[in-house]
């Protein structure tokens, strides 16, 4: 453990909620990485999962439903010294923020994105989320969801992400390992974290997940995109957890003329002599 | 003052021809105002530009024409009725017309002879200059063509212009002014220059006419200036990215037109709630829905002053003319940062796309706001203070932790639902408006300062109103004046309350159907207007039209 304390606060989550485990794993990971709270920014959108920034002692940004994804990457653009960690639910991240999710894959900005995937909308009391199983019965999907479940890992690999992993809130050691690797990874790194919702999802429970998940071992070649996609399509009786795909590639910051030398935009002003020159160009 | 129209189909180079002509005219010393009327298509349709110029400084367009450059027959059919007797229609000999004022020139043949049929437009440029008696030095021609065409085509274009120049006789007398060392810029360009001056570091937006050229200008300068311009996946991302960057301490801005602004509304409220400085440009076009994408209107005023669920402190500045767009944009960044609020710049297609000659802008005139250091000790991002402004710190810049929260929150940015905290936080945020109101800029008075007929307008109606009042006062008889609002929310009231009681008639002049400024004035001050001069066909009122309509209605 490092020298810094990432104290956590009393939460508004249900007893037994998977979020509690994710919070303590995040705290352990940050301490283990010996990060300084002032250098860490935790961003969330809206939802139970997205309340994460409220509960940990770091800089915090609680944005709008689905839009934490946009704010997080821009904060990293403005100050690349910040370690930016984005927490969203599956509704927040893949539903309302689905468009931002897709385009963040393409941007490859160096943030870690942890998605608490409980296959349900928790905060609004139990409607189907994009990852809900076909047939899931809710107060809105009264005859069972008729839509095909969204496959976030397949999407992420196809969309260009360099680090794509899955973990389970019920396996803290595994989760901390995934969080650590995602934070250390250079570029956009996503971890889809399976998480039981004790109040609104009576099907995908702790034991439901626990029975199905298996840890990927050395036999999986995480550098192979096609094999990774194949793994990503495995979801049902057996669910792989671990790093499905990992490949470093140039980041947004490395490619951007205004950022590639480590420039910080925060507090910066522009050179007025340049503006004078631009005025002259118009004469 | 002369007025020249260049018209043709989209794809025929109307815009390029106009851009070269206006520069050459400006270089001869004339003040210039060019209005662009473009159709929302890439090929076909009818596009035109009207270049108004003279020794003075034209502030708006005029309908009546001294010359027409017709790149196709349709141009003649549409605009002939506006040609003053004694004017000219310059066209290629292939164009069928037996108009008495037509000057036919073998432009295509001349171009062909020079070796490139595509330089016919430059033949017209040279001919038009000669007709107006405007001198064209070889040196000047080279330097201007160099700015608009590829290096290998400069020579042939200059030769084409010279051939055109020599092919026609002079028709009008040229009187030069002092504009040759002024800038010739569009409203979106001065806005973008204002943003650069203010220190914008991050601009994220989704393309939408007529706002896109702000992003294009900033993008062109971004490498050299060291800033980031990000084309977002949609307008919602555009504003939320700007807010993320602002939170982290970069001066940030987003821009769009009404449709995109509609998508940004939730985040606008978030900026107010989280007290994040933000500048948002809404370059209006006619709505509702997709409306008329490339035309002008002033119909988003009531929308932007109230956009957002709930209530937030905000400021709205309507941009009046090219210089104003620059200085008010600089000021908008300062106000946003000082009060930690969203500031909306309300422009429109007329101002955004038109170009005008203006004195060189002074990037040092407005000092950039320097945030005050807060007291040392325990830090709370939303600390209650006397004036409601909490000292703002930036994440990662000190040991203090910085929060931003879209839920109602306590001083530390933690979710709070209690009645007392909610009330205090609302009072804190909305209370900032009282201080802001003390720094509002009163509307500008044009014409008579104690008029019998007081015209009320805002934003880009500045130029047309300036001319209208001048024309009306020249007639003798009644005294006319106008108040043109720049700061418009909160509404500055002092001058209005002073001038309204002594005026016999109050008339609002706006580019919308319902008279939104009149309604706002009535709501805030109880002052009611007697009549409105309105237009909502996507075309800007000219000063002449306003004066005519005022006279016709007997005011
Ligand atoms: C614009 C908007 N639409 C809807 C909501 C209501 N809402 C809040 S959270 C949420 C879904 C939450 O689901 P998820 O992201 O999966 O998070 P969970 O609560 O399950 O952790 C919804 C629909 C909102 N706050 N804002």
pLDDT tens-place string over residues A152-174: 999 999 999 999 999 999 999 99
Residue A142 CB contacts under 8 Å (≥ 6 apart), including other chains = none
Q: Are residues B347 and B464 in the same domain?
A: no
Q: Is residue B175 part of a domain?
A: no
The structure tokens listed for A239 are 């669910």
Residues B481 and B465 reside in one and the same domain? yes
Q: Chain A partners of B413 at a C-beta cutoff of 8 Å?
A: 60, 62
User: Is a pLDDT exceeding 90 seen at residue B206?
Assistant: yes
Whether B139 is in a domain gets the answer yes
Number of structural domains (chain B) is 4
Q: CATH number for the domain including B509?
A: 3.40.50.920
Identify the helix (H) or strand (E) that includes residue A43: strand A40-44
Q: Is the ipTM of this complex over 0.95?
A: yes
Residue B205 has what pLDDT? 98
**Confidence class for position B280, pLDDT limits 50, 70, 90:** very high
pLDDT bracket for residue B429 (50, 70, 90): very high
Q: What is the spatial distance between Cα B218 and Cα B195, in angstroms, rounded to a whole number?
A: 9
Query: Which residues span the domain enclosing B313?
Result: 184-360
Whether B96 is covered by a domain: the verdict is: yes
The verdict on residue B173 lying in a domain is: no
Residue B206 and residue B308 share a domain:
yes
Of A43, A266, A279, the CB nearest to B394: A266
What's the pLDDT score for residue A256?
98
Nearest alpha-carbon partner for B461 in B492, B486, B496, B494: B486
Distance CA A196, CA A169 (A): 8
Kindly state the percentage of chain B with pLDDT values over 90.
94
DSSP of B232-289: -SSHHHHHHHHHHHHHTT--EEEEE-HHHHHHHHHHHHHHHHHT--EEEEEEE-S-ST
- Statement to judge: residues B380 and B491 lie in one domain: no
- Quickly list DSSP for B284-314: E-S-STT--TTS-----HHHHHH-SSS----
Judge if B12 and B161 occupy the same domain: yes
Please check whether residues B218 and B99 belong to one and the same domain: no
* Same domain as B115, residue B59: yes
Q: What is the mean pLDDT of residues A227-242?
A: 97
Residue B76 CA to its chain's centroid (Å): 29
B436 has a pLDDT exceeding 60: yes
- Domain boundary, last residue among B166, B201, B232: B166
User: What's chain B's average pLDDT?
Assistant: 96
Shared domain for B434 and B467, answered yes or no, is: no
Beta bridge partners of B531: B507
With bands split at pLDDT 50, 70 and 90, how would you rate the model's confidence at A1? low
Residue with tokens 């002509």, as numbered in its chain = B21
Residue B135 in any domain: the answer is yes
Contacts of A258 in chain B (CB under 8 A): 222-223, 225-228
Q: What is the pLDDT of residues B386-400, one digit of tens each?
A: 999 999 999 999 999
B451 located within any domain? yes
Q: Which of B360, B379, B399 is the last residue before a domain boundary?
A: B360
The predicted model gives A96-106 an average pLDDT of 98
pLDDT at A2 over 80: no
Structural domains in chain A, sorted by start: 18-249 (3.40.50.970), 256-283 (no CATH)
User: Is the Cβ atom of A48 under 6 angstroms away from ligand 1?
Assistant: yes
User: Mean pLDDT for chain A?
Assistant: 96
CA B353 from centre of chain: 7
Rounded average pLDDT over B149-154: 93
Any chain A CB within 8 A of the CB of B148? Answer: no
**pTM score of the predicted model:** 0.97
∠ CA A281-B202-B485, rounded to 5°: 70
Average pLDDT over residues A56-61: 97
Banded pLDDT at B334 (limits 50, 70, 90): very high
Asked if residue B172 belongs to a domain, the reply is no
Determine which of A41-45, B9-13, B63-67, B154-158 has the lowest per-residue pLDDT on average: B9-13
The answer to whether A72 contacts chain B (CB < 8 Å) is yes
pLDDT tens per residue across span B152-204: 999 999 999 999 999 999 999 998 899 999 999 999 999 999 999 999 999 99
Average pLDDT, stretch B451-480? 97
Taking phi over 0 as left and psi of -120 to 50 as alpha, with beta for the rest, B150 belongs to: beta
Distance of CA A271 to the CA centre of its chain: 37
Atom of ligand 1 nearest to the CA of A64: 26
Flag whether pLDDT at B508 surpasses 80: yes
Does B258 lie in the same domain as B346? yes
Name which of B329, B339, B318 is nearest B195 in CA terms: B329
Q: What is the share, in percent, of chain B residues with pLDDT greater than 70?
A: 100
Asked which of B305, B333, B360 is the last residue of a domain, the reply is: B360
Provide the pLDDT for residue B438: 98
- What is the model's pLDDT at position B117? 86
Return the pLDDT at B219: 98
Which of the listed residues A43, A54, A66, A96 should we mutate to test ligand 1's pocket, taking the one with most ligand atoms within 8 A of CB?
A96
What pLDDT shows up at residue B39?
Answer: 78
pLDDT of residue B40: 73
What's the confidence (pLDDT) of residue B502?
Answer: 96
Average pLDDT over residues A104-128: 97
Shared domain for B12 and B56, answered yes or no, is: yes
* B200 within some domain: yes
* Predicted local confidence at residue A5, as pLDDT: 80
Q: CB of A273 within 8 Å of any CB in chain B?
A: no
Residues B194 and B328 in one domain: yes
Domain of residue B249, CATH code: 3.40.50.970
Can you give the pLDDT at residue B489? 98
pLDDT at res. B373: 82
Tens digits of per-residue pLDDT, B71-85? 999 999 999 999 999
B435 plus B450 within the same structural domain? no
């Amino acid at each position: 453990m490092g020298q810094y304390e990432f104290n956590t606060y009393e939460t508004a989550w249900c007893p037994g909620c998977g979020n509690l485990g994710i919070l303590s794993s995040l705290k352990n990971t940050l301490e283990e990485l010996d990060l300084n709270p002032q250098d860490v920014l935790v961003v969330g959108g809206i939802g139970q999962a997205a309340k994460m920034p409220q509960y940990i002692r770091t800089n915090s940004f609680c944005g709008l439903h689905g839009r934490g994804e946009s704010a997080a990457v821009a904060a990293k653009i403005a100050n690349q010294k910040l370690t930016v960690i984005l927490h969203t639910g599956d509704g927040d991240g893949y539903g309302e923020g689905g468009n931002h999710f897709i385009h963040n894959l393409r941007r490859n900005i160096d943030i870690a994105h942890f998605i608490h995937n409980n296959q349900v909308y928790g905060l609004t009391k139990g409607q189907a989320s994009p990852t809900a199983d076909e047939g899931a019965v809710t107060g809105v999907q009264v005859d069972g969801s008729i839509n095909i479940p969204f496959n976030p890992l397949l999407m992420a690999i196809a969309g260009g992400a360099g680090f794509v992993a899955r973990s389970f809130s019920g396996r803290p050691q595994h989760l901390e390992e995934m969080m650590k690797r995602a934070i250390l990874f250079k570029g956009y790194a996503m971890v889809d974290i399976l998480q039981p919702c004790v109040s609104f999802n009576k099907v995908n429970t702790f034991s439901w997940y626990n029975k199905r998940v298996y840890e990927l071992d050395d036999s999986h070649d995480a550098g192979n995109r096609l094999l990774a996609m194949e793994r990503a399509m495995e979801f049902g009786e057996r669910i792989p957890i671990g790093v499905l795909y990992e490949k470093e590639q140039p980041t947004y910051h490395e490619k951007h003329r205004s950022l590639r030398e480590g420039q910080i935009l925060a507090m910066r002003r522009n050179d007025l002599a340049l503006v004078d020159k631009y005025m002259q160009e118009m004469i | 003052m002369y007025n020249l129209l260049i018209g043709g189909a989209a794809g025929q180079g109307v815009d390029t021809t106009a851009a070269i002509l206006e520069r050459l005219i400006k270089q001869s010393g004339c003040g210039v105002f060019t209005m662009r009327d473009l159709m929302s298509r890439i090929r076909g349709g009818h596009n035109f530009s009207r270049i108004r110029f003279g020794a003075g400084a034209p502030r708006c367009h005029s309908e009546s024409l001294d010359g027409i450059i017709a790149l196709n027959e349709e141009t003649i059919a549409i605009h002939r009725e506006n040609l003053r007797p004694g004017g000219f229609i310059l066209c290629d000999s292939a164009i069928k017309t037996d108009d008495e004022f037509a000057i036919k020139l073998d432009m295509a043949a001349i171009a062909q002879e020079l070796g490139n049929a595509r330089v016919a437009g430059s033949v017209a440029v040279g001919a038009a200059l000669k007709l107006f008696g405007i001198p064209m030095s070889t040196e000047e021609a080279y330097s201007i063509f160099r700015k608009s065409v590829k290096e290998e085509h400069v020579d042939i274009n200059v030769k084409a212009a010279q051939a055109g120049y020599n092919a026609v006789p002079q028709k009008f007398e040229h009187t030069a002014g002092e504009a040759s060392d002024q800038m010739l810029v569009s409203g979106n360009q001065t806005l973008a220059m204002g943003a650069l001056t203010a220190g914008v570091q991050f601009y994220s937006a989704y393309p939408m006419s007529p706002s896109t050229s702000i992003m294009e200008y900033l993008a062109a300068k971004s490498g050299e200036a060291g800033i980031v311009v990000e084309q977002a996946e949609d307008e919602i991302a555009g504003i939320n990215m700007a807010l993320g960057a602002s939170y982290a301490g970069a001066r940030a801005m987003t821009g769009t037109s009404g449709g995109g602004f509609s998508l940004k509304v939730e985040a606008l409220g978030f900026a107010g709630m989280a007290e994040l400085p933000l500048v948002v440009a809404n370059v209006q076009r006619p709505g509702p829905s997709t409306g008329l994408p490339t035309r002008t209107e002033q119909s988003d005023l009531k929308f932007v002053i109230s956009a957002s669920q709930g209530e937030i402190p905000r400021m709205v500045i309507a941009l009046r003319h090219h210089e104003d767009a620059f200085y008010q944009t600089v000021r908008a960044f300062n106000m946003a940062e000082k009060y930690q609020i969203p500031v909306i710049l309300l422009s429109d297609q007329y101002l955004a796309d038109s170009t005008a000659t203006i004195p060189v802008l002074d990037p040092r005139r407005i000092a950039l706001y320097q945030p005050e250091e807060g007291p040392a000790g325990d830090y709370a991002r939303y600390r209650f203070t006397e004036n409601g402004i909490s000292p703002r710190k930036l994440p990662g810049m000190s040991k203090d932790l910085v929060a931003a929260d879209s839920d109602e929150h306590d001083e530390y940015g933690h979710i709070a639902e209690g009645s007392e905290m909610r009330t205090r936080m609302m009072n804190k945020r909305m209370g900032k408006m009282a201080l802001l109101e003390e720094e509002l800029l009163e509307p500008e008075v044009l014409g008579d300062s104690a008029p019998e007929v007081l015209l009320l307008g805002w934003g880009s109606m500045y130029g047309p109103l300036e001319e209208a009042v001048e024309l009306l006062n020249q007639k003798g008889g009644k005294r006319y004046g106008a108040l043109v609002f720049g700061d418009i929310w909160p509404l500055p009231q002092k001058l209005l309350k002073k001038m309204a009681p002594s005026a016999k008639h109050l008339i609002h002049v706006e580019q919308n159907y319902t008279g939104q400024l009149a309604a706002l004035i009535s709501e805030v001050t109880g002052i009611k207007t007697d009549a409105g001069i309105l237009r909502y066909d996507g075309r800007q009122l000219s000063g002449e039209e306003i004066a005519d309509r005022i006279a016709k209605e007997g005011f």
